[in-house]
Amino acid sequence: MKAIQVGLLGLGTVGGGTLTVLRRNAEEIARRAGREICVTHAAVRNLDKAQALAGQGLVLTTDSFAVVNNPSIDIVVELIGGINPARELVMQAIANGKHVVTANKALIAKHGNEIFAAAQAMGVMVAFEAAVAGGIPVIKAIREGLAGNRIEWLCGIINGTCNFILSEMRDKGAAFADVLREAQAKGYAEADPTFDIEGIDAAHKLTILSAIAFGVPMQFDAAHIEGISKLAAEDIAFAEQLGYRIKLLGISKRHANGIELRVHPTLIPAKRLIANVEGVMNAVLVKGDAVGPTLYYGAGAGSEPTASAVVADLVDVTRLITADPHHRVPHLAFQPDQLSPLPVLPMVETETACYLRMRAMDRPGVLAEVTRILSEQGISIDAMIQKPCAEGENLANVVLLTHLAREGAVDVAIANIEALEAISGKVTRLRMESLA
């Protein structure tokens, strides 16, 4: 049977890993796919640098469109990242009747609706397992393995940079800025780490996961996004004292009137498995009505872990390349005409328990005022600790854990607490999830 010919767009960390895995495991991959999968062309930025990796038999070019428009290419693998020119290249490949494999979470989260519609019209596949959680096959698990379930909620540690920083802050008691510099020195964080530390990368991935889990269109622009750059070491320490770990979680839950789509630092009980995922590792927890909670853990980035997912997509596309397009696994798990119009709920309608830390004057009556304000908004207290502040003898750190409360009510309560003369500065609010 004729070998499948692949054109790579990008021969960097993931592209190089993909080429290495395809060559090293060529026999095993062919046995699984039913025919050989060969990379014949690659578009690169630097021909001289790429030549050593490419070796013989791989045509290199600096023109990505030459690969996309080459009639001999069956599958285009987009690994250049970003929105443009990646979007134009993917859309051109689809228009040319070529299947696409991509690891580009930003592209899928922002333009997936358009890309999948074009692919459906042309009868081609767009595979994107590597766009979320590196080598963890979580997209396949949700889309296929849990197809008999009504997914109730999912959450994930889906950014290794943030997880490394939070793990180090907890272990060493270090400040965020110091650990960020360490992460950059080790290559875990970019020179400009904004996408990672501000939660944008995690939100891209969560958007994709929620679309597959609930059968809804991509709705990245509606996601609530908070990062970890303002997180204080003392909050991590207080959380630990109370039996919690702080993780940057992407969380999506289904309700009758919409879905939650939010990324933020979250307190989770230290006894939960996902709370003990450390360093740069990723984990995704998915709750189905039939199977219960399922946990997927592994390397969320890196050359060969991500290449593992890219090659798995190549095998899937190769197996189904001659199949009737109507009998392939749908891009978003549900048939295209069966996607739900469920909107993303405004954050003010979300209900979570909360961690509230404030610097209060150490004098009688202050806590009574705070609890009165919380009570007026229907917010009850679950636990409290009080510790002296380093800033002065007259101030104390007061930490309150609340029961479930509506986000909008917590917003009002925080504003009223901050207006008290006995409260110094801003109230720190972190959300809590039991993940039971």
The answer to whether 49 is a known catalytic residue is no
Task: Name which of 71, 79, 97, 61 is nearest 21 in CA terms.
Answer: 79
DSSP state of 348: G
Pair (285, 153) in one structural domain: yes
* Tens digits of residue pLDDT in 283-302: 999 999 999 999 999 999 89
Pair (75, 196) in one structural domain: no
Assigned token pair, 119: 């692919």
Does a structural domain hold residue 86? Answer: yes
Does a structural domain hold residue 18? Answer: yes
Pair (160, 290) in one structural domain: yes
Q: What is the model's pLDDT at position 391?
A: 61
Pair (21, 118) in one structural domain: yes
* Tens digits of residue pLDDT in 351-389: 999 999 999 998 889 999 999 999 999 999 999 999 888
Task: Provide the pairing of β-strand 258-269 with 423-432.
Answer: parallel
Pair (116, 217) in one structural domain: no
Q: For 241-269, what is the mean pLDDT?
A: 97
Pair (258, 175) in one structural domain: yes
Q: What is the model's pLDDT at position 64?
A: 97
Q: Give the E-state strand segments of 270-414 in sequence order.
A: 281-288, 292-299, 351-361, 381-388, 395-402, 405-406
Q: How far is CA 98 from the centre of its chain?
A: 27
Pair (51, 15) in one structural domain: yes
Question: Is residue 322 scored above 90 in pLDDT?
Answer: no
Does a structural domain hold residue 282? Answer: yes
C-alpha pair distances (Å), 57 with each of 39, 60, 222, 286: 9, 10, 46, 43
Confidence grade of residue 393 (pLDDT, cut at 50, 70, 90):
low
Question: Is residue 35 scored above 80 in pLDDT?
Answer: yes
Rounded Cα gap, residues 389 and 398, in angstroms? 9
Show the domain range for 393: 348-432
Radius of gyration of the chain (CA): 24
Confidence grade of residue 407 (pLDDT, cut at 50, 70, 90):
very high
Does a structural domain hold residue 367? Answer: yes
Rounded Cα gap, residues 200 and 221, in angstroms? 11
**Based on the structure, what is the number of domains in the chain?**
3
CATH number at residue 360: 3.30.70.260
Does a structural domain hold residue 405? Answer: yes
* Tens digits of residue pLDDT in 174-223: 999 999 999 999 889 899 999 999 999 999 999 999 999 999 999 999 99
Pair (251, 204) in one structural domain: yes
Does a structural domain hold residue 343? Answer: no
Task: Provide the pairing of β-strand 75-78 with 4-9.
Answer: parallel
Residue 157 φ then ψ, to 5°: -90, 100
Residue 263 φ then ψ, to 5°: -125, 125
Q: For 426-434, what is the mean pLDDT?
A: 97
DSSP state of 8: E
Question: Is residue 327 scored above 90 in pLDDT?
Answer: no
Does a structural domain hold residue 119? Answer: yes
Q: For 405-414, what is the mean pLDDT?
A: 97
Confidence grade of residue 275 (pLDDT, cut at 50, 70, 90):
very high
Average pLDDT, rounded, for the chain: 95
Pair (207, 128) in one structural domain: no
**In this structure, how many other beta carbons lie within 10 angstroms of the beta carbon of residue 57?**
8
Q: For a pLDDT cut of 70, what percent of the chain falls above it?
A: 99
Assigned token pair, 366: 């202050």
Pair (295, 169) in one structural domain: yes
* 169-199 exposure pattern, b = at least 16 Cβ within 10 A, e = fewer: bbeeebebeebbebbeeeebbeeebebbbbb
Rounded Cα gap, residues 60 and 21, in angstroms? 19
Pair (389, 328) in one structural domain: no
Does a structural domain hold residue 411? Answer: yes
C-alpha pair distances (Å), 427 with each of 101, 242, 386: 45, 18, 14
C-alpha pair distances (Å), 304 with each of 14, 104, 264, 312: 7, 16, 29, 12
Q: How many CA atoms lie within 13 A of 40 on its CB side?
A: 17
Catalytic residue among 105, 140, 205, 253: 205
Pair (178, 262) in one structural domain: yes
Confidence grade of residue 392 (pLDDT, cut at 50, 70, 90):
low
String of DSSP letters for 189-249: S-SS-HHHHTSHHHHHHHHHHHHHHHT----GGG-EE--STT--HHHHHHHHHTTEEEEEE
Confidence grade of residue 264 (pLDDT, cut at 50, 70, 90):
very high
CATH number at residue 234: 3.30.360.10
Last residue of a domain, one of 312, 338, 364: 338
CATH number at residue 11: 3.40.50.720
